C-alpha cells in the first residue's frame, strides 16, 4: 500500500500540471509543487498511514474481479530513452471477471486505459474493478519513462525520465512560446499514441492466435489466465479511456475505425493539435467519428468557456464541436485529481495537489457510474446514454 501511495503522490504532482493547456499558467505553480514535494513526508505521512485501512470502493456488478499482467515488446520501435538498442516495451495490466473461463458470456467488451503524465497503471483501479464487475475486460497500460514507476521484461525498475520530469514542470510557464510547447507536447503524444496503438494491435493479433504472440513477455503464472481472457474478449467492441494526458491519448487513438467509444477524463486533447501558425495553435477539424464523452472539473470547463468567449483555439472545443456523437459534462467543486483514486487513499495530499471540496467518494462513484452507462450503451448496446450538463 505504501508503494501505491508514493506512486499516486507523483501522479498528483505532475498530472495536474499538464491537465490544462492554459497559456496563463504561471511558473509559480511548478515552484510550489517542488516545495510541496520536499514537505510531502513531513506533512502527509501521518495522515496517510492513518488511511492504511482504506477499503476499495464497493462494486455494483455481479462479478468479483481478477488481475493479470504482461509486457508487450514492440519490435518496430527502438526505445528512445535508452542507448542499448532495446525495443520499446509497454506493460499491460488486465482486470476482468473472476473465473472468466467459466462464464456463460464469452464475448466481453474491452476497455483500454492510459494514465496521466507521471502516472501509474493503478491510478483508476476503482473504475477498472467496477467495469470488470459488470463483465468487461479492462487493460490499463503503463507508458515507460512517462510512468513514475514500472518494470521491464528483465525485471529492472524503470522510473520516470528526468528530462521529461523537468520539462513537464517548466512547460506551463507563461513565457514559453506556443511553438515550443507544441513541439514538446507533440513528442509526448507521438510516444503515447504509438504505445496505445501497439497495445490495440497486439491484443487483436493475440485474439486471432488465441494466445499471446511472440511479442509478449508473460510470467508463467499468468499465461493460462491471459489465454482465457483473450478468448473471452470481443475485439469488435473496444472502448478507450484515459485521465489527463492519457485522456488526450485515448481521444486521438479513438479515431480508429475499430474503436467503438472513447472517454476523456479531464484531459486536454493535445493529440488533436496539428501545429502552430503565427502563434496560433492549429486544431484537427475532421469530424470525430466515434462516440466520445468528456468529463471535466469545473475550472477546466470554465477555461473552455473562456476560450470560446476570447476566440482562443482550444482542442477540446474543436473536437467536441465536430464530434458526430459527443457528450460533455463537468463536476462542480471537483479538482483534477478527483477523477483518480488519490483522494480516497491520501486525502490530505490530494487536497494539496488539485482536488475540490466535492465529496471524493461520491465524485468517483458518480463518475464510475457515468462511465459504466456510456460503455454499456456503446459497447454492449444496452439502453440509451444521456448525461447532465454538470454534477
Residues 273-308: tens digit of each pLDDT: 999 999 899 999 999 999 999 999 999 999 999 999
- The predicted-structure confidence for 80-116, as pLDDT tens digits, reads as follows 999 999 999 999 999 999 999 999 877 999 999 999 9
CA separation, residue 69 to residues 76, 96, 218, 232 (Å): 22, 11, 7, 16
Three-class SS string for 261-282?
EEEEECCCCHHHEEEEECCEEE
- The predicted-structure confidence for 344-378, as pLDDT tens digits, reads as follows 987 876 777 689 999 999 999 999 999 999 999 99
Q: Which of 145, 109, 111, 143 is nearest to 128 (CA)?
A: 111
Domain limits of the chain?
2-379
Backbone angles phi, psi at 163, to 5 degrees: -65, -40
Backbone angles phi, psi at 112, to 5 degrees: -115, 130
Average pLDDT over residues 250-265: 98
Residue 329 parent element (H or E): strand 326-331
Class of the domain covering 2-379: alpha beta
Average pLDDT over residues 10-32: 43
Average pLDDT over residues 247-256: 98
> Please, are residues 269 and 251 in contact by the beta-carbon 8 Å criterion?
yes
Amino acid at each position: 500500500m505504501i508503494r501505491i501511495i508514493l506512486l499516486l503522490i507523483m501522479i498528483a504532482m505532475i498530472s495536474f500540471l499538464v491537465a490544462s493547456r492554459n497559456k496563463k499558467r504561471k511558473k509559480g505553480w511548478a515552484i510550489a509543487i517542488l516545495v510541496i514535494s520536499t514537505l510531502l513526508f513531513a506533512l502527509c505521512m501521518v495522515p496517510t498511514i492513518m488511511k492504511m485501512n482504506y477499503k476499495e470502493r464497493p462494486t455494483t456488478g455481479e462479478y468479483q474481479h481478477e488481475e493479470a499482467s504482461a509486457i508487450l515488446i514492440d519490435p518496430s520501435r527502438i526505445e528512445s530513452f535508452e542507448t542499448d538498442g532495446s525495443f520499446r516495451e509497454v506493460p499491460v495490466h488486465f482486470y476482468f471477471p473472476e473465473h472468466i473461463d467459466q462464464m456463460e458470456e464469452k464475448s466481453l467488451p474491452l476497455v483500454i486505459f492510459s494514465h496521466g503524465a507521471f502516472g501509474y497503471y493503478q491510478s483508476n483501479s476503482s473504475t477498472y474493478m467496477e467495469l470488470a464487475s459488470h463483465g468487461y475486460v479492462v487493460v490499463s497500460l503503463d507508458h515507460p519513462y512517462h510512468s513514475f514507476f514500472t518494470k521491464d521484461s528483465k525485471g529492472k525498475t524503470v522510473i520516470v525520465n528526468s528530462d521529461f520530469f523537468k520539462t513537464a514542470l517548466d512547460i506551463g510557464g507563461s513565457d514559453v512560446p506556443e511553438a515550443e510547447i507544441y513541439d514538446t507536447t507533440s513528442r509526448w503524444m507521438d510516444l503515447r499514441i504509438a504505445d496505445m496503438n501497439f497495445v490495440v494491435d497486439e491484443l487483436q493479433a493475440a485474439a486471432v492466435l488465441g494466445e499471446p504472440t511472440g511479442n509478449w513477455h508473460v510470467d508463467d503464472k499468468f499465461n493460462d489466465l491471459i489465454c482465457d481472457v483473450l478468448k473471452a474478449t470481443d475485439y469488435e467492441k473496444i472502448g478507450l479511456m484515459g485521465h489527463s494526458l492519457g485522456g488526450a491519448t485515448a481521444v486521438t487513438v479513438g479515431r480508429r475505425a475499430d474503436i467503438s467509444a472513447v472517454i476523456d477524463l479531464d484531459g486536454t486533447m493535445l493529440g488533436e493539435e496539428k501545429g502552430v501558425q503565427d502563434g496560433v495553435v492549429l486544431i484537427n477539424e475532421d469530424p470525430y467519428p466515434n462516440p466520445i464523452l468528456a468529463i471535466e472539473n469545473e475550472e477546466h470547463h470554465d477555461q473552455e468557456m473562456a476560450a470560446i468567449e476570447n476566440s482562443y483555439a482550444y482542442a477540446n472545443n474543436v473536437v467536441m464541436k465536430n464530434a458526430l456523437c459527443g457528450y460533455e459534462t463537468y463536476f462542480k467543486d471537483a479538482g483534477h485529481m478527483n477523477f483518480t483514486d488519490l483522494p480516497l487513499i491520501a486525502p490530505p495530499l490530494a487536497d494539496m495537489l488539485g482536488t475540490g471540496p466535492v465529496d471524493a467518494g461520491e465524485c468517483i462513484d458518480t463518475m464510475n457510474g457515468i462511465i459504466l452507462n456510456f460503455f454499456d450503451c456503446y459497447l454492449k448496446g444496452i439502453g440509451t446514454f444521456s448525461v447532465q450538463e454538470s454534477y
